[in-house]
Amino acid sequence: MNQQAGMTLIVKTVTRISVWLILLYGIYIILHGHLSPGGGFAGGVIIALAFLNVMLAFGRDFIKNWLNIEMLHDIDSSSATMFLAVGILGMAFGGSFLANFIPHGTLFNLVSSGTIQVLNIVIGLKVGMGLFIVVWALALFHLDRKELK
């Protein structure tokens, strides 16, 4: 089977514009997680879908040069430690694990939820990178039909 790199020119041109909009929408969903529906998980999934869009349109060889997969893997692995660090900082300054230690702003402002927003960002990084790496690892398999040994 001929593995042509990516899809047609139309899909590639649209992807070149839309991927940044999808990434921006994911970041918006993560940052407004305490005000509106959404949050770290939903925004992380949207960020992973932006990368997945590029991988589907341009092929898996392109994404290896465009993104630093090793760095994504490092972010994915370290975000669990970051979550733990925020929890332990709450233990140090707030009294108990995951307690709030950042001052509240006024209600309905963007920065008004203390550590919840930080945790949303950490969860968004974890989910986005983890989900994209799962799909990328599954795309590495060559599913060409060949004769049984």
Q: Is 9 in the site for other proteins (CB under 8 A)?
A: no
Tell which positions 91-110 bind other proteins, by CB under 8 A: 107-108
Least separation in angstroms between residue 145's CB and other proteins is 6
Least separation in angstroms between residue 87's CB and other proteins is 17
For other proteins, the binding residue among 2, 3, 4, 36 (CB under 8 A) is 36
Nearest to 92 by CA among 101, 84, 104: 101
Alpha-helical runs (H) found in the chain = 9-31, 40-58, 60-66, 69-93, 115-139
Q: Is 141 in the site for other proteins (CB under 8 A)?
A: yes
Calpha distance 67→88 (Å, rounded): 32
For other proteins, the binding residue among 41, 54, 93, 118 (CB under 8 A) is 41
Q: Is 138 in the site for other proteins (CB under 8 A)?
A: yes
Nearest to 83 by CA among 44, 25, 27: 44
